[in-house]
Structure 1
């Protein structure tokens, strides 16, 4: 907790808003998407999705996995508590909705479904998109699947799998995910393994979003390595997320942005 507080204070010291951004691409993203304060009708559906989970007092067996297939934690938890403490916040869900709506990606991969709170934001932003969402825990995915059916998120394909097994499939190289949301394993090794495994899928319009880039010293190290990768051009640090672009026409730039 102390590390995260120190990281946040450092972030605040270095962070800027749209007035200090001289990239037309990033300036447009900030003004038309990040800082769009207009209410959206979809936000009410996102709140309803969340409230349904918060009202669920059932207990389920939750299993978490490491970078490989080794189980490192299994326990019983109440669904409502998972939604309250482990899921994406309402503010972040709305921002994720706006980002997805802004770019309108046709093909999306989410690594780490949990209860589907982030998935619902992605799905609502472009109902014509095709979304694959991966989860290692069958119990939380069962809840998410039920939610997807109730809310008619027919564009979501939920898959229970160990992440590295799925990403090692050579057929991934034939896919071009326009958006990938990384929220499955917050360790340096896993993050970099996923990064390398998915590089063959990038296009000029690809956007990757990494969650919890300041979660720990090793996650910050992973973020630095990703920023410096030769195929990465523009990166945006919002403290919670790291956004990564591969636009060849853009000069290599890094932005630290308050949201």
Structure 2
């Protein structure tokens, strides 16, 4: 809980974003994502909203036991996938291997576990990674060539009245 409160202290909403790519994703993909009536864990809601917004043709997941259901074709080939989901449980690849194979036309979504800070640090320190967006319950990573190297800490809710852990 303390780690989440620290995250809230340094995070911002759309008013702290100066990247058009991240601003559009945050406002149209995260904040405007249609919420389901039943409770969905923030990790799942963020992942579903990212998939809904980016609409990848194929997804590669690094885990053999991925817990979330997505209505997208999955692929066994990391290089032919548009969207890569790194989930640490029962993993086929390490985060270093994923970061090395990531191309500028792919997006990496990291489903964080207890090792969140270490994984985020590796992504930020990688010289080829240009964008990391930490939502606490999910991390977006990219090698976009048109993007300056930036890291954002963003809340997945617009106002504190919408706050849910």
Question: Considering the TM-score relative to the shorter chain, is it more than 0.5?
Answer: yes
Task: Give, in whole Å, the separation in 2 of the partners of 1:239 and 1:90.
Answer: 12
1:243 aligns with 2:143: no
* 2:44 match: 93
Is 2:86–2:95's contact at 8 Å kept on the other side of the alignment?
no
Q: Describe the SS at the equivalent of 2:94.
A: helix
Q: Describe the SS at the equivalent of 2:50.
A: helix
* 1:102 match: 53
Task: Give, in whole Å, the separation in 1 of the partners of 2:49 and 2:89.
Answer: 24
> By how many angstroms is 1:185 displaced?
3.3
Task: Give, in whole Å, the separation in 2 of the partners of 1:243 and 1:99.
Answer: 9
Q: How many pairs are equivalent? A: 156
* Deviation sequence 1:20-73 (CA, Å, 0-9, x none): 11111110000101101535xxx58xx7xx9xxxxxxxxxxxxxxxxxxxxxxx
Higher helix share: 1
Identify which of structures 1 and 2 has the higher relative contact order when contacts are C-alpha pairs closer than 8 Å and 6+ apart. 2
Q: How does 1:160-175 map to 2 (within 5 A)?
A: 175=79
Task: Pick one of 80, 104, 122 that aligns with 1:176.
Answer: 80
TM-score, L = length of structure 1:
0.52
Is 2:99–2:123's contact at 8 Å kept on the other side of the alignment?
no
TM-score, L = length of structure 2:
0.79
Question: Which of structures 1 and 2 has the bigger CA Rg?
Answer: 1
* 1:111 match: 62
Flag structure 1 segments of 5+ consecutive residues without an equivalent: 51-88, 133-156, 158-171
* 2:109 match: 209
Is 2:46–2:137's contact at 8 Å kept on the other side of the alignment?
no
> By how many angstroms is 1:98 displaced?
1.9
Flag structure 2 segments of 5+ consecutive residues without an equivalent: 157-165
